[in-house]
């Protein structure tokens, strides 16, 4: 069966070896039985530069490189600094933050999803700052130990800030979804980021549409399968 798979929000880190093991098992099994694999951001919990010698990174790069299928990556809010060096090592193709695919007769928009959360104005201001190319280049010139400290502080600040935000604010804005799908002329949108796996039915310009959300890899794995029959959200044990 011809199919394409999508995953996101694994948040791989040395502190969660079970998730890493589950992902490696996925790469040795399900991921080999598809036409292509798309990773829609937050593959890693944090990314402070391709020069980080963390052994986990080389292990994941080698496992991805061994896949016999094309693999694609869209940056998330945790790993937006993942660069060309790691992409080459892992065999992944880096994509822009929004990408339209034509799959088995379906026109599908894929993205990480954080840009849809427009009600979270504080996060959007932060995102605009850290996505300035000059600031990213400056950060990557800093010694590795300083980058580690900055990243740890930013994660702590983000966690504290999110404790005071309502769940609705951190979810996508429905109008932002409709506007994005209208602009890209699609009726299927796949994204991650919110950690709220679901298939949402909606109407875009008078036509039926779907927004399909990937789950985070906490207790189980989460993937979306697209084939000739449509889109399916699938959860599976590690």
pLDDT at 19 over 90: yes
Measure the CA–CA gap between 164 and 33, rounded to whole angstroms: 42
Mean pLDDT of the chain: 95
Q: What is the 3-state secondary structure (H, E, C) of the chain?
A: CCCEEEECCCCECCCCHHHHHHHHHHHHCHHHCCCEEEECCCCECCCCCCCCCCHHHHHHHHHHHCCCCCEEECCCCCCCCCCHHHHHHHCEEECCCEEEEEECCEEEEEECCHHHCCCCHHHHHHHHHHCCHHHHHHHHHCCHHHHHHHHHHHHHHHHHHHCCCCCCCCCCCHHHHHHHHHHHCCCEEEECCCCCCEEEEEEECCEEEEEEECCCCCCCEEEEEEECCEEEEEEECC
State the pLDDT at residue 146.
97
State the pLDDT at residue 27.
98
**Percentage, residues of the chain above pLDDT 90:** 90
- Predicted structure pTM score: 0.95
State the pLDDT at residue 89.
98
State the pLDDT at residue 36.
98
pLDDT for 147-178, tens place per residue? 999 999 988 887 787 776 777 788 999 999 99
């Amino acid at each position: 069966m011809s199919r394409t798979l999508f995953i996101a929000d694994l948040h791989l880190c040395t502190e969660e070896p079970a998730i890493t093991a589950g992902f490696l098992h996925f790469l040795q099994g399900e991921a080999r039985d598809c036409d292509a694999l798309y990773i829609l951001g937050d593959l890693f919990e944090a990314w402070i530069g391709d020069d980080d010698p963390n052994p986990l990174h080389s292990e994941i790069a080698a496992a991805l490189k061994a896949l016999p299928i094309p693999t694609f990556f869209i940056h998330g809010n945790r790993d937006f600094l993942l660069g060309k060096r790691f992409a080459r090592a892992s065999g992944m193709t880096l994509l822009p933050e929004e990408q339209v695919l034509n799959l088995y007769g379906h026109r599908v928009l894929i993205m990480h999803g954080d840009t849809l959360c427009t009600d979270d104005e504080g996060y959007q201001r932060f995102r605009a700052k850290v996505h300035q190319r000059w600031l990213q280049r400056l950060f990557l010139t800093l010694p590795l130990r300083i980058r580690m400290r900055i990243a740890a502080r930013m994660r702590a600040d983000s966690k504290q800030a999110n404790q005071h935000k309502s769940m609705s604010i951190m979810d996508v804005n429905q109008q932002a979804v409709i506007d994005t799908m209208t602009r890209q002329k699609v009726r299927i949108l796949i994204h991650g980021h919110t950690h709220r796996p679901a298939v949402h039915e909606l109407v875009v310009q008078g036509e039926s549409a779907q927004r399909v959300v990937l789950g985070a890899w906490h207790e189980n794995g989460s993937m979306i399968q697209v084939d000739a029959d449509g889109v399916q959200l699938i959860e599976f044990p590690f």
